[in-house]
Amino acid sequence: MSESTPITPDPNPAEALDSVANNSNEQANASADRNAKTRQLLGMKGAASGETSIWKIRLQLMKPITWIPLIWGVVCGAASSGNYTWTLENVLKVATCMLLAGPLMTGYTQILNDYYDREIDAINEPYRPIPSGAIPLPQVIIQIWVLLIAGYGLAFALDVWSGHEFPTITAIAIIGSFIAYIYSAPPLKLKQNGWLGSYALGASYITLPWSTGHALFGDLNSTIVILTMFYSLAGLGIAIVNDFKSVEGDRQLGLNSLPVMFGITTAAWICVVTIDVFQGLIAAYLVSIHENLYATILILLIIPQITLQDMYFLRDPVKNDVKYQASAQPFLVLGMLVTGLALGHAGI
């Protein structure tokens, strides 16, 4: 029989354990650093300063994470038109409209908001590009104008492409940019009023892109506009969620967001009740136009939102706002698409 190789004990077991611990810490730190850089690039809460690439800084200013609801709103509008078909031209139209709604108009809105919120961000989010000094203010202003002019130009091109006698999409872009301005800039600065500001934000995220997508393939009518404005009351609740991350800065600077006006707990309840009730009323409307299957699906999509509100948001809205949005909003946006398909099927 062959002799077994003797196992030599480590003469310094404490050092070996320290080495393993250090490696683990280095890996954790590297992972946290990558996560912070990703959040920074997307324009999310909890990012880190220190980016030096001017193009990444410009992209961070535009907050790509906020483009998604607007892009989705275009899809819902195309569905509600009842005229969308899967042709190459239509796919290109939708993609162009998504470019308009997301990077251009939402990018313009986000930078404009950051420009006028630089004092608040210096308190709440000092790592943002403007308060951290990563980009000079004149360059910020130039980027705002470039995005706005490009947005108007692309909106008009979509009107021509769609054969509109009246430039409906251009008009929506102009209205949207005006709402963005009065939302962020003095003297009106709608965001100073919790109700007006939150509804303006909700309507911008639902009514404007939805109407644009609908106009791209059908005739935009008052029924669609009114319904989406009503749906925007659920969007008002989503807008309130965004106010919890900046409640301390809002208090210091005298901005009357709902968490400041009513307190954290009451504002959280206002938020969730608004989200749930107005989605439920939309489901009731679908029943009234005999789209019962779509109404049932919408109700089923509201249930997990209520569950996640209880699990995360109502327990600690300041700590769990991002976690709640990431887990619950997919159900809300799927409900928007279900509603759009229902309206298209009903020929509204």
| One domain for residues 215 and 79 | yes
Question: Do 204 and 65 fall within a single domain?
Answer: yes
CA angle 159, 160, 161 (to 5 degrees): 90
Over 80: is that where the pLDDT of 78 sits? yes
Is 3 contained in some domain? no
Looking at the fold, whether 229 and 320 belong to one and the same domain comes out as yes
Last residue of a domain, one of 220, 235, 257: 220
In this structure, the answer to whether residues 316 and 253 fall within a common structural domain is yes
Between 208 and 44, the more confident residue is 208
Please check whether residues 230 and 215 belong to one and the same domain.
no
To the nearest 10°, the Cα dihedral for 88, 93, 95, 101?
A: -170
CA distance 209 to 293: 25
Domain membership flag for residue 183: yes
How far CA 289 is from CA of 74, 167, 293, 344, in Å, comes to 23, 30, 11, 12
Whether residue 337 sits in one domain with residue 309? yes
Tell whether 1 is covered by a domain. no
Domain extent at residue 142: 52-220
User: Looking at the domain assignment, is residue 326 inside a domain?
Assistant: yes
Q: Is the pLDDT of residue 2 over 50?
A: no
Q: How confident is the model at residue 43 (pLDDT cuts 50, 70, 90)?
A: low
The verdict on 130 and 231 lying in the same domain is no
Do the beta carbons of residue 180 and residue 113 sit within 8 Å? yes
Residue 31 falls within a domain, yes or no? Answer: no
β-partners of residue 193 are 256
Same domain, yes or no: 101 and 115: yes
Question: Considering 200, 220, 240, which residue would you say is the last residue of a domain?
Answer: 220
- 76 and 101 together in one domain: yes
Q: Model confidence over 176-193: pLDDT tens digits?
A: 999 999 999 999 999 888
pLDDT tens, residue by residue, 264-280: 999 999 999 999 999 99
Among 220, 254, 281, identify where a domain stops. Answer: 220
Weakest mean pLDDT among 14-28, 191-205, 265-279, 310-324: 14-28
Residue 322 has a pLDDT of: 85
Q: How confident is the model at residue 8 (pLDDT cuts 50, 70, 90)?
A: low
- Residue 347, pLDDT above cutoff 60: yes
Residues 227 and 100 in one domain: no
The answer to whether the CB of 112 falls within 8 A of the CB of 181 is yes
Question: Alpha-carbon distance 104 to 268, whole Å?
Answer: 31
pTM: 0.83
Q: What is the pLDDT of residue 109?
A: 97
